[in-house]
Amino acid sequence: MADTSDFRNGLIIKFKNDLYSIVEFQHVKPGKGGAFVRSTLKNLRTGRVLENTFRAGEKVEVVRVERRKYQYLYSEGDMLVCMDNETYEQINISKELFSEGLKFLKESEEVEILFNGSEIISVEIPIFINLKVVETEPGFRGDTATGAMKPAKLETGAQINVPLFINEGDVLKVDTRTGEYSERVKS
């Protein structure tokens, strides 16, 4: 057990019978009344973010989680097979534990898995992944000023909008949180 004075960004606590990560917090000491802590919490299972206010000194249960690096091997039905980078042990993980960015995950990419004992809490995929464009309309040299976009299909099958100058075969840096084109990677 800990109290609100132990809060720090990234701390994982048990709250409303679920696990939450503290995204940010602020200690507030008003002129009248007792001090309190305003916090933003992210549910580790659903990814939903909520605001909550704790009384100063209120007890919270801190959960110790272990982060381990795994390599994504392949998809099998509604499960993904990942391998521990140290022990080479393979585990099956439900696709539900992955974020929306799952559609950008390619085989052999490294992911970070959060464990509470032997229970998998969540899976974090890289924020940026480099992916090859496999299908798009031909690009036009010098067509960079308009800001216009066109659809492109990536090697994982995901569809995103890209600038007009992008061609098939180009490698792009994609933000897995938003699904947006970030930049073209020089090959």
Instruction: Judge whether 45 and 121 are in contact, CB under 8 Å.
Output: yes
Residue 149 to residues 100, 140, 165, 173: CA-CA distances in angstroms?
A: 22, 12, 9, 16
Range of the domain at 17: 2-62
- My answer on whether 105 and 136 are in the same domain is no
Q: How far is residue 72's CA from residue 90's CA, in Å, rounded to a whole number?
A: 10
Tokens (6 digits) for 80: 């993904």
DSSP classification of residue 124: E
pLDDT (tens digit per residue) in 70-126: 999 999 999 999 999 999 999 999 988 887 788 999 999 999 998 888 888 888 889
- My answer on whether 95 and 116 are in the same domain is yes
CATH number at residue 86: 2.40.50.140
Mean pLDDT of the chain: 89
Q: How many domains does the chain have?
A: 3
- My answer on whether 135 and 174 are in the same domain is yes
Instruction: Judge whether 171 and 177 are in contact, CB under 8 Å.
Output: no
Q: Identity (one letter) of the amino acid at 27?
A: H
pLDDT (tens digit per residue) in 132-165: 999 998 876 655 666 788 999 999 999 999 988 8
Picking from 96, 124, 152, the residue at the C-terminal end of a domain is 124
Instruction: Judge whether 151 and 114 are in contact, CB under 8 Å.
Output: no
Task: Please state whether the predicted TM-score (pTM) of the whole model is above 0.95.
Answer: no
Picking from 87, 103, 124, the residue at the C-terminal end of a domain is 124
Instruction: Judge whether 155 and 185 are in contact, CB under 8 Å.
Output: no
Q: Which of 46, 60, 53 lies closest to 1, judged by CA?
A: 60
DSSP classification of residue 32: S
Q: Provide the pLDDT confidence category of residue 54 given band limits of 50, 70 and 90.
A: very high
The pLDDT assigned to 187 comes to 65
Q: Which of 111, 99, 106, 101 lies closest to 71, judged by CA?
A: 111
